[in-house]
Amino acid sequence: MDFIHLNNMEFYGFHGALPEETRLGQRFRVKLSMAVDLKGAGETDDLEQTVNYAEVFDLCRAIVEGEPKKLIESVAERIAGEVLRVYSAKVKGCKVTLVKPDPPIRGHYESVAVEITRGDFA
């Protein structure tokens, strides 16, 4: 299987369980990997034979910058579901990592994140 990776896309959203998160918002980073057969695109140099990652970026942005959710698990699930729905003819599976770099947690850490895998992602 071949893969398309969109790494460290950064958006500003209003997700979180705490009132200040939904009021003030914060940064979110998304890494998305999609299992796609890229042989046809590689042989023909035809965009129609692959997934337009500019469109996928816009889809991710719309979700992260859209309707607030309490849990980043819900945001990641929505990204995976929409990618698999919109690109069902080409994307066989996907892995979404959603990173919250600055959650309101006391202590020292780089970030918190969730990672989900949906579909056929071997």
- Indicate which residue of 69, 90, 95, 100 is catalytic: 100
Dihedral angle of Cα 51, 13, 62, 71, to the nearest 10 degrees: 80
Give me the helices (H) in the chain, please: 19-24, 39-44, 53-64, 72-86
Residue 69 is a catalytic residue: no
Q: Ramachandran region of residue 5, left (φ > 0), alpha (ψ -120 to 50) or beta? A: beta
Task: Give the active site residues.
Answer: 100
